[in-house]
Amino acid sequence: MSSTYTTIEICAGAGGQALGLEQAGFHHSYLVEIENAACCTLKLNRPTWNVIEADVRSFSANMLSNIDLLAGGVPCPPFSVAGKQMGQEDERDLFPEMIRLAGECLPRAIMIENVKGLMSNKFDSYRNHIEDEFEKLGYRGVWKLVNSSDFGVSQLRPRAIFVAFLDDYLDYFSWPQRIINPPTIGELLFEEMSSNGWKESDSWKAKACQIAPTLVGGSKKHGGPDLGPTRARKAWAVLGVNGSSLANEAPDADFTGMPKLTVKMAALVQGFPSNWEFYGKKTAAYRQVGNAFPPPVAREIGKSIISALKRENKNPWQHQRNRVLELNFETTS
């Protein structure tokens, strides 16, 4: 097998998953994204990436071959507890498009990311349906609920992940283990918070001594750039952050009260590197941040997928159909 591992990614957004997979060792053949601002962000940070601005329903993979991974963070609203949870009845459900594309190009592996709500009992039958459709194409898959903070991300952000493989590759796949304790919000954001000489930054850092709640927001139907509904804002207030909106810049030297996050700070909470830029004004930029898949999580799962494609370590245990790891923690998404 080639030492270059190729991907097609749909619903690429601002590049959280794409960046993580790049760090894992994948080369992106195509990144498909419908939102212009997100496409501009991808091109701004990675001019060499092949970004296709289009509705994935109009994208065909029939002429593509030798693809190692088909990946995508398909839209979350059909499964989010913050919405109506209409699932497959929601027109935004793009799992059928992932299945179609897999049938067209037969990648060796598949990785799909979504919200925790997809793992609820309400969607047991739909998860089974998804597995059935992939099995018809020759894939065996496994689900897991992954906590982003296990991979150094300074928030809980649980994500539902489905990974599937052709041939016997699943027998060589292991979920990545916890790799690092995440920094507190104070540790993570201190440099940014103090960048304008804020005199109270040290005391703020001491108060912001925990990781953040799940960063929410980013919906087109949501009014503007804030850190979510009342419950989320209260959790941010415990960390000394005003979640009612976002700031254009860090606090100045004489600022008093609770500071607001900037778009850059929110991106750091998502696990983006500090040099990753977001195209557009504050609301459009924050929408991209709020919808992102944390790059460190994508990186570690991507490494495990490559290890399986190399058939490096066969697992002593058998993957079971619809195997789900349930984690007991709260989330607003």
Per-residue HEC secondary structure of the chain comes to: CCCCEEEEEECCCCCHHHHHHHHHCEEEEEEEECCHHHHHHHHHHCCCCCEEECCHHHCCCCCCCCCCEEEECCCCCCCCCCCCCCHHHCCCCCHHHHHHHHHHHCCCEEEEEEEHHHHCHHHHHHHHHHHHHHHHCCCEEEEEEEEHHHECCCECCEEEEEEEECCCHHHHCCCCCCCECCCCHHHHHHHHHCCCCCCCHHHHHHHCCCCECCCCCCCCCCCCCCCCCHHHHHHHHHCCCCCCCCCCCCCCCCCCCCCCCCHHHHHHHCCCCCCCCCCCCHHHHHHHHHCCCCHHHHHHHHHHHHHHHCCCCCCCCCCCCCCCCCCCCCCCC
Angstrom distance (rounded) from CA 320 to CA 142: 7
- Cβ of 1: how many Cβ atoms within 10 Å? 11
Q: So which residues are the catalytic ones?
A: 76
**What's the one-letter identity of residue 19?**
L
